[in-house]
């Protein structure tokens, strides 16, 4: 296991892996049906324990490096993490739209704000927060949480290239997060303002949609002209699998406020040098999402699929294309090209946006994991035996956008029972 250490209590995650575990935990109710109150109850049971199945709770299991449902889990670094804000879930159309919580470790002197990623069952996520990237939908930084995002979009006004702009997608998500309040009436800004400490480091983290919203929220709260970062020992960001949160000026200004900063992990903690920097977007080279919105054309064509997995042919057969998931023909080719071309059109031909700095990795093996976290080989689609059905698309998204990150970080977390 990359970067883990053995103790008398079992395997202990390093601090980057620990934050990634919190990142993944924010997605516990993704795909679960229910209204806001029901999903909040489910998320509360996941984080703190309880419910009909008497689920022990994420922190109980992970602080102890315990076993649940027959699977042994690694221990969070410090083993003293506790929720301090939330969790809060907002639902739309019977599925989770946004989720946020914050947790603190006294031993690590750290507060982590974890933001959920894309809910594949959530139409608002897909159609609004992920796909609101047209030029007319851009929103100037900082957003006004008191006004609907639709009233803040630039519309047909000319772009001022001296200004910072969120994508409409990021602005919509950040707006939602800032208007989510706990049972004490606090939003995340209220909590952080009241609990800042020069002895503690603050970290924002999220995966997928959360990989854009975590740097977006960090900029909104601690970017140029916002709250004083000096109230904390440091303010850092650890996004993964995120698309571009804003324009090229956004990316540039983000890295002025949040420059790539060494994590300081030792060779024992990070033997392969996988986790060297904060404030970079961890990105699987075979994942479509972090290619959005300015590198989507690189998701297919010569060299997009590692030759170590499938040697490139001298000539690619007619009607077959090379993609980052292997070679596709027939309906698979059509579905892939249609999805990528639609994403390029939404991103205005890739002329507006720029990715944050990336910490890219390529899977060591073409694998995914099953429900018991066992490694499983993925189908290998070659030039002579290409994928032909569009049914391969969703399994490949799940493997490259979710499972391969869990494998790369060597982080696995317990799942919430179906009924809580």
List, in sequence order, the alpha helices (H) in 137-185.
168-178
Report pLDDT digits (tens) over 41-93: 999 999 999 876 689 999 999 999 989 988 999 999 999 999 999 999 999 88
pLDDT at site 124: 42
128 pLDDT exceeds 50?
no
Token pair, residue 383, equals 């030039």
Tell me the C-alpha distance between 152 and 150, whole Å: 5
pTM, whole model, 2 decimals?
0.95
Segments making up each domain of the chain, as ranges: 5-287, 296-400
Residues of the chain above pLDDT 70, percent:
93
Helix orientation angle between 209-222 and 188-195, rounded to the nearest 10 degrees:
50
**Residue 141 vs residues 160, 180, 223, 357, 418: alpha-carbon distances, Å:** 12, 20, 9, 20, 40
Span 326-375, pLDDT tens digits: 999 999 999 999 888 888 877 764 468 999 999 999 999 999 999 888 99
| DSSP conformation letters of 176-230 | HHHT---TTS--HHHHHHHH--TT-EEEEEEETHHHHHHHHHHHHHHSTTSS-GG
Question: What is the mean predicted confidence (pLDDT) over 399-403?
Answer: 95
Please tell me the least confidently modeled range out of 10-14, 116-120, 386-390, 411-415: 116-120
Q: Is the per-residue pLDDT at 281 higher than 80?
A: yes
Residue-level pLDDT at 6: 45
3-state SS assignment for residue 115: strand
CA distance 251 to 215: 10
Q: What angle do CA 403, 169, 257 make, to 5 degrees?
A: 85
Helices (H) and strands (E) in the chain, counts: 11, 19
Q: Please name the CATH architecture into which domain 5-287 falls.
A: 3-Layer(aba) Sandwich (3.40)
């Amino acid at each position: 296991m990359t970067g883990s250490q053995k103790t008398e209590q079992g395997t202990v995650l390093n601090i980057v892996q620990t934050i990634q575990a919190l990142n993944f935990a924010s997605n516990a109710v993704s795909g679960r049906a229910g209204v806001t109150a029901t999903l909040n109850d489910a998320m509360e049971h996941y984080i703190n324990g309880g419910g009909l199945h008497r689920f022990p709770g994420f922190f109980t299991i992970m602080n102890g490096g315990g076993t649940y449902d027959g699977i042994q889990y690694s221990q969070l670094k410090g083993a003293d993490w506790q929720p301090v804000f939330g969790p809060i879930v907002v639902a739309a159309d019977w599925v989770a739209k946004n989720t946020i919580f914050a947790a603190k470790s006294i031993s690590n002197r750290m507060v982590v704000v974890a933001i959920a990623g894309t809910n594949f069952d959530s139409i608002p996520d897909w159609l609004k927060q992920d796909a609101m990237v047209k030029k007319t939908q851009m929103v100037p930084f900082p957003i006004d949480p008191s006004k609907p995002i639709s009233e803040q979009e630039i519309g047909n006004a000319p772009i001022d290239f001296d200004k910072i702009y969120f994508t409409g997608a990021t602005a919509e998500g950040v707006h939602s997060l800032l208007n989510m309040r706990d049972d004490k009436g606090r939003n995340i800004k209220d909590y952080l303002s009241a609990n800042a400490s020069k002895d503690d480091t603050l970290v924002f983290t999220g995966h997928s949609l959360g990989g854009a919203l975590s740097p977006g929220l960090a900029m909104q709260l601690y970017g140029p002209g916002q709250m004083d970062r000096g109230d904390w020992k440091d303010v850092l960001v650890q996004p993964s699998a995120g698309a571009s949160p804003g324009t090229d000026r956004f990316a540039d200004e983000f890295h002025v406020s949040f420059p790539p900063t060494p994590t300081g992990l030792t060779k024992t903690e990070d033997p392969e040098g996988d986790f060297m920097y904060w404030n970079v977007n961890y990105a699987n080279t075979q994942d479509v999402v972090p290619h959005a919105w300015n590198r989507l054309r690189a998701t297919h064509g010569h060299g997009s699929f590692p030759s170590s997995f499938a040697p490139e042919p001298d000539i690619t057969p007619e009607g077959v294309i090379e993609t980052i998931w292997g070679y596709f023909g027939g309906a698979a080719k059509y579905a892939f090209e249609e999805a990528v071309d639609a994403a390029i059109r939404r991103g205005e031909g890739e002329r507006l946006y720029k990715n944050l700095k990336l910490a890219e990795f390529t899977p060591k093996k073409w694998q995914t994991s099953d429900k018991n976290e066992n490694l499983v080989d993925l189908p290998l689609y070659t030039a002579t035996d290409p994928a032909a059905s569009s049914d391969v698309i969703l399994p490949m998204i799940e493997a490259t956008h979710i499972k391969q990150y869990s494998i790369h970080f060597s982080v696995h977390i317990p799942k919430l029972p179906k009924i809580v």
